[in-house]
Amino acid sequence: MASSLESLNRWVEDVARLTEPAQIHWCNGSSGEIRLLTEQMLASGDLIALNEETHPGCSLHRSSPTDVARVEHLTYICTRNRDDAGPNNHWMDPAEAHAKVDALFAGAMRGRTMYVVPYCMGPIDSPISRCGVEITDSPYVVANMRIMTRMGAAALSRIEAEDSFVKGLHSTGELDPDKRFIMHFPEELAIKSIGSGYGGNALLGKKCHALRIGSWQARSEGWLAEHMLIVGIENPQGETRYIAAAFPSACGKTNLAMLIPPESYREAGWKVWTIGDDICWMKPGADGQLWAINPEAGYFGVAPGTDHKTNPNALAMIQRDTIYTNVGITADNQPWWEGLSEGQPVSDWQGRAYDPAKGPAAHPNSRFTVAAQQCPSWSPQAEAAQGVPISAIIFGGRRPSLVPLVFEARDWAHGVLVGAAMGSETTAAATGAVGVLRRDSMAMKPFCGYNFADYFTHWLSFDKPGAKLPKIFHVNWFRKGADGKYLWPGFGENLRVLEWILGRCDGTAGAEETAIGLVPGIADLNLDGLAITPAASRELLGIDEQAWQSELAAIGKYLDGFGARMPQRLKDEQRMIAEALASKPAKSIRAANG
């Protein structure tokens, strides 16, 4: 039987024959290697050096104007059985997909260097981590993968010791939108991506491996690969508990992962620790709890909107050793984007003289890539091999009405329905219309590598004897009043909601039972010092039963859209809530000591 390294060498040779590179470079992840690579990119114009005094070690990359976001309509799951991919994915027969994409890969690397990038998703010594190798002709991709993963010699050693690794083949090709495909072959643990140099399409460790292939691996092996942040909340007694939370793009995910407590909470001794801002792999431990790692080693964050007020931790960490993509620049060569309170742009993200009439200075989906350890709130537990124990799972979305600030699911099955029913307005991170409401189950609609109905079944399977599962909640920071303004201040004040959530986990916080779940009474939330009127508080936490009846009917139709594979348990849960909505009065559930 061939070793993983023999299998890797054969695959590299096969790819080289197909793509015909000028040379092959095996990446070792060293500082000398990345220094040389950066010098080459600065010389070629792939990178532009930024102000060394204000932003030491930082550079700017400009992608093609037609290559600035994920391309969901060109992203395929290629399983032998179409139903295994499900209606939530674009499907293509594996043989057809290989033939189509290999024809584009033929000779695609002529005159270019082919980089072989071994990487580990998660701490090198964690049993939850999984390895992969990306072959790419983009030095920009190599530089990003070095930040985003544990890349190089240590990963190659782990690959040599293990039986399998995910194979990712990438080429920027001609950057032609008509010759662009992101193909996933879950049964082969393989990815092929061509025609894009942008983030999630090209950094194959990210969404392609960590979520699409990862979710398939997770189902096969009994764990969960999720589009979730992981954050630790330390209370004044010095106890830290960990929360995993799923939000669609641009719903405050990174802000919550790096939350800075309000002044009164800081003075009382509350602290927030960042484990991860985007992806969470969770596995049941011997103790029955879910233990989680962040498989990424860096952040690939959205720049616009990042400022002192919205996310001071993120702003602080990207002042050095950061790769910026598609932001504007100031006269003294500092990066600039909309939402930044200081500086004025002179060039836009395409390198043109900045003209507001031609659009924003920074592309709405412009990014920064930075090592996780540069975050001021980074926790050393992010490197813990066993992961961190998860006390609560939070689902959220951008809903201007209907959904209250926070509610708790009654049990695990109800929580799975809450996650399945998530809806949010679309954002610039995906191509297409902005501001349209769509269901985005567990924030995984663009990322689940198999049939959503099977995915919900997998989630339900964790509810078994001996399991000590996290409580599940839903939050909505974006509810608006009749005047169109947000009712909740958000940002650091969201810790007040997390405090209630953790209070529910340990039985010290009260709630009111409603048909949709357990909602805090106004007295159950710490609103001290907030300029929120009693009327606004009632609106924030209110349940419009008639509107919720319409919502449950829409959720029922959504679930039915997945056909016969949809678990009956989830449909029963939906029907039970729909029946309860019209008749069940709210009743108060007080904490044992409250």
Give residues with Cβ within 8 angstroms of 30, minimum separation 6. 152, 153
Q: 3-class DSSP state for residue 475?
A: strand
Taking residue 339's Cβ as centre, other Cβ atoms within 10 Å add up to 15
Helix (H) or strand (E) holding 185: strand 181-185
Choose among 307, 291, 322: nearest CA to 258. 307
Structure-token match 């509350």, residue found:
270
Choosing from 58, 208, 251, 280, which is the catalytic residue?
251
State the Cα–Cα distance between residues 591 and 316, nearest whole angstrom.
Answer: 40
- Beta-bridged to residue 353, according to DSSP, are 347
Residue 133 φ/ψ, nearest 5 degrees: -135, 125
Residues facing 378 on adjacent strands: 274
Integer Cα distance of 341 and 305 in angstroms? 10
The owner of tokens 């299998």 is 7
DSSP character at residue 89: S
Strand partners, 60: 48, 324
| Integer Cα distance of 459 and 465 in angstroms | 15
Q: Residue 164 has which token pair? A: 């399998």
Told to judge if 251 belongs to the known catalytic residues of this protein, a careful annotator would answer yes
Task: Kindly give the pairing relationship between strand 59-61 and strand 367-371.
Answer: unpaired
- Distance (Å, whole) CA 371 – CA 317: 8
| Active-site residue set | 251
